[in-house]
Amino acid sequence: SYELTQPLSVSVALGQTARITCGGNKIRSKTVHWYQQKAGQAPVVVIYRDVNRPSGIPERFSGSTSEDTATLTITRAQGGDEADYYCQVWDSSTAWVFGGGTKLTVL
Amino acid sequence: EVHLVESGGGLVQPGGSLRLSCAASGFTFSSYAMSWVRQAPGKGLEWVSTISANGGSTYYADSVKARFTVSRDSSKNTLFLQMNSLRGEDTATYYCAKLLAGSQTHFDYWAQGTLVTVSS
């Protein structure tokens, strides 16, 4: 089965850049989506199809992918960015797969 | 505006059954695949099941296969999840979510979630 690996937590200073990684075997060959989930709320997509931002998501959010790692980058981090972030792909053997989630703390 | 509103969650004993519903509005329900995703308390997201737009194809995570059944009633714009033989590890908030298009697309709208607690 296909697995996605995320760090449990990432901390970033206010106004600095946060990078949240998502590791998966040959993840570059897959389509990666990123969701933000704030406490007590449903997830919201912040990046879809690797690099695309839905309307309403700030330009500070961006996505990139290398051979085995996808990265969500948040520039000029704000307190409102504190949330859990999940990567997700579809795999032909495992179907829809989520990473374990990363808690972002803005210091 | 897209709205997804769930109902049917609650407390159930191990081995029991529960049926979740998700009422959809604001889009052409019969044109989109729909899914269930769950989140155990303090844990991450876990995909549970997906049903195709016409209801002809269904998909399940191994953890729920043969116990859960997803269905839809396009005349009522409603998605269902019938959960049987419930176990403690099924305790979670269950979200229904709309898939933008095909399998490789993202979940573009999510309901608010309904809590299912399996306990004696």
Closest CA to B60 of B45, B51, B48, B44: B48
- Name the residue in chain B with its Cα closest to that of A1: B62
Closest CA to B91 of B42, B53, B54: B42
**Looking at CA atoms only, how far is residue A48 from chain B in angstroms?**
6
Interface test with A, best of B106, B109, B110, B115 (most A CBs within 10 A): B106
Residue A48 pairs in a beta bridge with A52
Residue B16 CA to residue B97 CA, distance in Å, equals: 25
pLDDT at A100: 98
> Which pLDDT tens digit goes with each residue over B26-48?
999 999 999 999 999 999 999 99
- Between vectors from CA B81 to CA B51 and to CA B41, what angle results, nearest 5°? 110
**Looking at CA atoms only, how far is residue A23 from chain B in angstroms?**
16
Q: Which residues of A touch B59 (CB under 8 A)?
A: 95
> Which pLDDT tens digit goes with each residue over A89-105?
999 888 999 999 999 99
CB atoms A42 and B110 under 8 Å: yes
> Which pLDDT tens digit goes with each residue over A26-79?
999 999 999 999 999 999 999 999 999 999 999 999 999 999 999 999 999 999
**Looking at CA atoms only, how far is residue A33 from chain B in angstroms?**
6
Q: Other C-beta atoms within 10 Å of A66: how many?
A: 10
pLDDT at B102: 77
Q: Give the one of A42, A48, A99 whose C-beta lies nearest to B95's C-beta.
A: A42
pLDDT at B103: 74
pLDDT band (50, 70, 90) for residue B101: confident
CB atoms A43 and B45 under 8 Å: yes
Burial B88-103 (b: 16+ CB within 10 A, else e): eebbbbbbbbbbbeee
